[in-house]
Amino acid sequence: MKPDLSCKPIIRTWKLHKAFGPHEVLKAVNLDIPETSIYVIIGQSGTGKSVLFKTIMGMIPPDGGKVWFRDTELSALSPDALMAIRKSFGYAFQNAALFDSMTVEENLAFPLKEVLRLKDREAIRQRVAELLAWIELPGIGSRRPDTLSGGMRKRVGVARALILRPQVVFFDEPTTGLDPVLSETIHKLVVRVRRELGITCVLITHDIPAAFRIADKIAFLDQGSIIAEGSPGEIARSDHALVQAFMRISFAGRTRERGL
C-alpha cells in the first residue's frame, strides 16, 4: 500500500511545546504525518525525539500546543478518553521491553487480556500464533525472552506493538544494538507493516542511510525544533548546514562500517 502524501494527515501537531523545569525540550513543533506512510524523525541525541513521541501519544502532557489524531484533538481529551483512543497506537520500545518472567505467548497475550479484556483463550492463542508466523518466528510462543537473540526480541517487540491491530505504530530506535544484517531485517519488517497491514509507521532512528531508503517523509529535529521536513530527496537537498553535516557524517560512518 502506497501512502497518499497529499491526503489529510493521520497525526498532526501544532506548536507543540514541552519543558522540564527551565529546560525546553520541544519548541513549537509542527508535524503532519500522512496516513499509511513511513515517517522518520532524525536528529542528534538529546534533541527531544523520544519526548516528542511520548507527548504525541499522551504519555507526557504537553505544556502548550495541540495534537490531533485524525479529527480528534488528543491534547483536549480527558484521561479516560485519551486512554481509549490510545488503543489505536502501538509502541515498539527500543529494548523491546518484554516481560522476562513471561513466555513470548504470554507477552503478546498480555495487551489482549489487559486492554481489550479478551477472555477466549483459543482466540487469543490463535491471534498470537498468526502474528508470530507473520513476523516469521512461528513456534516460539513457549520460549522466554531471555532465550531469544537480540533480533528475535526486537521482532517480538514489534509483534506486541501490532497485537491490538493499531492504526499507527511508533518505533523508538528499532535497530539499536543490532548488527547491519539484523538491522536490515527490522527495516524490512517496518516496510511490511506499512505495505501489508496499511499501518502508519513513525520511527526514531540514527540509521540515516536506512531512513533514506525506507521513509516517505523525514523530519529533522534539532534542539526541540523541526529544522527540515520533506521527502528523502528534499532533505538531501536541504541547504541547512547542520542537516548537511549530519548526513555527511552519518553516510561516511556507514561506509567505514562496511569497510568501503
Q: What is the rounded average pLDDT of the residues 167-192?
A: 93
pLDDT in the model for residue 246: 82
Name the nearest CA neighbour of 94 among 170, 169, 176. Answer: 176
Say what percent of the chain tops pLDDT 90.
Answer: 72
Residue 4 counted as domain residue:
no
Q: What is the DSSP letter of 46?
A: T
Q: How far is 3 from 76, CA to CA, in rounded Å? A: 28
Using CA atoms, how far apart are residues 153 and 93, in angstroms rounded to an integer? 11
pLDDT tens, position by position, 63-116: 999 999 999 999 889 989 998 999 999 999 888 889 999 999 999 999 999 999
Give 54's contacts (C-beta < 8 A, 6+ positions apart): 60
Domain containing 83 equals 9-257
3 in a structural domain: no
Under 8 Å between Cβ of 17 and 65: yes
Stretch among 16-20, 23-27, 242-246 having the lowest mean pLDDT: 242-246
Tell whether 2 is covered by a domain. Answer: no
pLDDT in tens, 31-59: 999 999 999 999 888 888 999 999 999 88
pLDDT of residue 256: 46
Task: Report pLDDT digits (tens) over 250-260.
Answer: 776 554 454 44
> Which has more pLDDT, 11 or 178?
11
Whether residue 71 lies inside any domain: the answer is yes
Asked if residue 153 lies in contact with residue 96, where contact means CB atoms within 8 angstroms, the answer is: yes
Average per-residue pLDDT for the chain: 90
Q: Look at residue 45 in the predicted model and tell me its pLDDT.
A: 82
Rg (CA), the chain: 18
Is 114:122 a contact under the CB 8 Å cutoff? no
Residue 75 has a pLDDT of 84
CA distances from 76 to 19, 20, 46, 52, 58 (A): 19, 21, 28, 17, 10
User: Quick one: what percent of the chain has pLDDT higher than 70?
Assistant: 94
What pLDDT, on the 0 to 100 scale, is given for residue 136?
A: 95
Cell numbers describing residue 94: 527500543
> What's the confidence (pLDDT) of residue 5?
61
Tally the domains of the chain. Answer: 1
Tell me the C-alpha distance between 210 and 95, whole Å: 19
Residue 7 has a pLDDT of 67
pLDDT for the residue 102 = 96
pLDDT above 50: residue 217: yes
Return the CATH number at 133.
3.40.50.300
Question: Do the domain assignments include residue 133?
Answer: yes
